[in-house]
Structure 1
Amino acid sequence: MTITLCTLFEGNYHYGVAALSNSLIAGGFVGDLWVGYRGALPSWIVDSRDFDRATATLQVGSALRLRMVEIQTPMHFTYYKPTFLREVFERHAPEATLVAYIDPDIVFKCDWASFTAWFTEDAISLIEDVNPNLPERHPKRLQWARFFAPHGIEPQRRLERYYNAGYIAVPRAHLAFLDLWIQLCDLVMHQNQGVKHLKAGEATSLFHSTDQDALNFALTVSDVPLNTAGPEAMDIVPGGYYLSHAIGWPKPWHGRHIRQALRGMPPTPASKAYYDFANHPIKAYDTTAFARRVLARKLASAIGRFYRRT
């Protein structure tokens, strides 16, 4: 199986790309990470002597190549995930038999060999979200079914779980699923009357988690087999050992660790995992500045042992 990875970032999410890349190297991954971006590239890429401007490729040691792809789209990148996955298959890595998308606020905790056991050529790989229980007759599912029915899109199977869109691995055999997800994202964007935001409306809104809601409805329309794990596989709940996903806000690279801890919100396991990989071998931070950040994170964790919200 030929496996290729991809991610998307803009703005300061480049710090997450650096940590994700470092975690892949630590885990023993060898290959390409296709990085779709909007805006200016950070200095740790363009000023590196290992960056080839002609091919927009950053070689990191002998193992990892970051392949930069400038994206021209007005939509929020959360809607662009299935499109970028399709582009990687068709344009950038036509030799790939499987492409995995990974959000830039995720790092790998396990070795790559253990993770690849998740990949098969007949199934999509997914991880459950923070609220993973979504029964077949849940009000949201009933609302989605009524919304999509006039478009000729109807559920074909029962699902009881809700999956996070920050990680998804798709084999080439199921490219049609990406087309379905793209179609549903387009309908959701039209319904939400905008393409600029990650979340829309309130938690009770028809499509609040946008592309993720579209993904979960697409999974009921398609009969593609699923390889799945619980939310612990992203450190969303304790007990995991595969990935760590810094969901929500602020992201670890935003800092404010002590301030947040004094508000009863100490660093999460995902924040701690980020710092394990944030600055080596790729150095996205000045060494002194990074040391101050690490110290602040440790002090915030110490505060959290005595004071946290219930």
Structure 2
Amino acid sequence: MNITLCTLFEGNYHFGVAALSNSLIAAGYAGDLWVGYRGALPGWIVDSPAFDRATGQMQVAPTLKLCMIELDTPLHFTYYKPTFIREMFEKHAPATTMVAYIDPDIVVKCDWPAFMGWFTEDGISLAEDVNWCFPARHPKRLLWNRFFEPHGATPRRTLERYYNAGFIAVSRQHLDFLDLWRRLCDLVVAYNANSKQLKAGGSAALFHSTDQDALNFALTVCEAPLNTAGPEAMDFAPGGYYLSHAIGSIKPWHGGHIGLALRGRPPTAASKWYYRFANAPIKVYSDGELAKRQLSLKLAAAIGRVYKRG
């Protein structure tokens, strides 16, 4: 199986791209990571002697090459995922049989052979979200059915789980699923009249998690086999060993760990895993800055053991 990996970033999410890359190297992945970006590239890329400005490529380790792709789209990148994944098949990696998209606030915890077990050429690979329980006749699912039916999208199966859009792997034989997901994203964007926000309205809004809601409805319309893991696969629940996903607006690289702990928000598992991969072999912090951040994380964890917000 020929697998291609890709991610999307802008702004300070480049810190996450570095950690994701480092985690892939540690896992034993050998290949390319295609990185779609908007805005300026960070210094750790453009100032590196390994960065080829002409090709946008950077050999960060003997086994891993970053392939940078500048993108020009007004969409929030969360809506651009199905388009970007399809471009991997059509343009950037035409020989691939499987494309896996991984958000830049995720790191891979397990070794690559274990991760490979998640992929099959006949299916779509996913992990359940932090709010994973989503019954087949949940009120919001019923509302989605009514919304999408006039647009020719009708469920062909029922699902009881809600999946996170931070990681998804799609095989070449399911390109039609990517087209469906992209079309549903377009409908959600039009409904919310906002193409630049990750969330829309409150939790009761018809489409609050936007592209992720579109993804979960698309999964009921398509009939591809689903290769799924529970919420623990992203560290949303204890016991996981595949991925660690730093969800929420405050990312590990934003720092401020002690202040957050004093407000009852101790470091998450994802924050701790981020710093395991934050600085080697790709180095984005000075040794002194990294040591300071790691000490802050340890102190914040100690505070969290005695004080948590109720």
Q: Smaller-chain TM-score range? A: over 0.9
- Pairing 1:196–2:196 present: yes
The equivalent of 1:67 in structure 2 is 67
The equivalent of 1:219 in structure 2 is 219
Deviation at residue 249 of structure 1 after TM alignment: 2.5
AA partner of residue 154 (structure 1): T
Structure 2 counterparts to residues 31-50 of structure 1, below 5 A: 31-50=31-50
The equivalent of 2:28 in structure 1 is 28
* Deviant stretches of 4+, over 4 Å: none
Deviation at residue 286 of structure 1 after TM alignment: 1.7
The equivalent of 1:267 in structure 2 is 267
- Pairing 1:81–2:81 present: yes
The TM-score with structure 1 as length reference comes to 0.99
Deviation at residue 61 of structure 1 after TM alignment: 1.7
The equivalent of 1:145 in structure 2 is 145
Counterpart-to-counterpart distance in 2, 1:209 and 1:15: 24
Counterpart-to-counterpart distance in 1, 2:37 and 2:286: 23
Counterpart-to-counterpart distance in 1, 2:57 and 2:284: 17
Counterpart-to-counterpart distance in 1, 2:130 and 2:306: 25
SS of 1:48's equivalent in the other structure is coil
AA partner of residue 62 (structure 2): S
Structure 2 counterparts to residues 253-264 of structure 1, below 5 A: 253-264=253-264
Structure 2 counterparts to residues 146-161 of structure 1, below 5 A: 146-161=146-161
Deviations 1:18-58 (A, max 9, x none): 00000000000000000000000000001011111111001
SS of 2:289's equivalent in the other structure is helix
SS of 2:95's equivalent in the other structure is coil
Deviation at residue 279 of structure 1 after TM alignment: 0.4
The equivalent of 1:120 in structure 2 is 120
Q: CA RMSD in A?
A: 0.6
Counterpart-to-counterpart distance in 1, 2:39 and 2:26: 28
SS of 1:305's equivalent in the other structure is helix
Counterpart-to-counterpart distance in 1, 2:95 and 2:286: 38
The equivalent of 1:108 in structure 2 is 108
Deviation at residue 169 of structure 1 after TM alignment: 0.3
Unaligned runs of 5+ in 2: none
The equivalent of 1:5 in structure 2 is 5
AA partner of residue 117 (structure 1): G
The equivalent of 1:239 in structure 2 is 239
Fraction of identical pairs, as percent: 71
SS of 2:54's equivalent in the other structure is coil
- Pairing 1:162–2:162 present: yes
SS of 2:292's equivalent in the other structure is helix
SS of 1:40's equivalent in the other structure is coil
Deviations 1:220-265 (A, max 9, x none): 0000110000000000111100100001121000001000000011
Deviation at residue 291 of structure 1 after TM alignment: 1.2
Deviation at residue 290 of structure 1 after TM alignment: 1.4
SS of 2:183's equivalent in the other structure is helix
Moved more, 15-24 or 52-61: 52-61
Aligned pair count?
A: 310
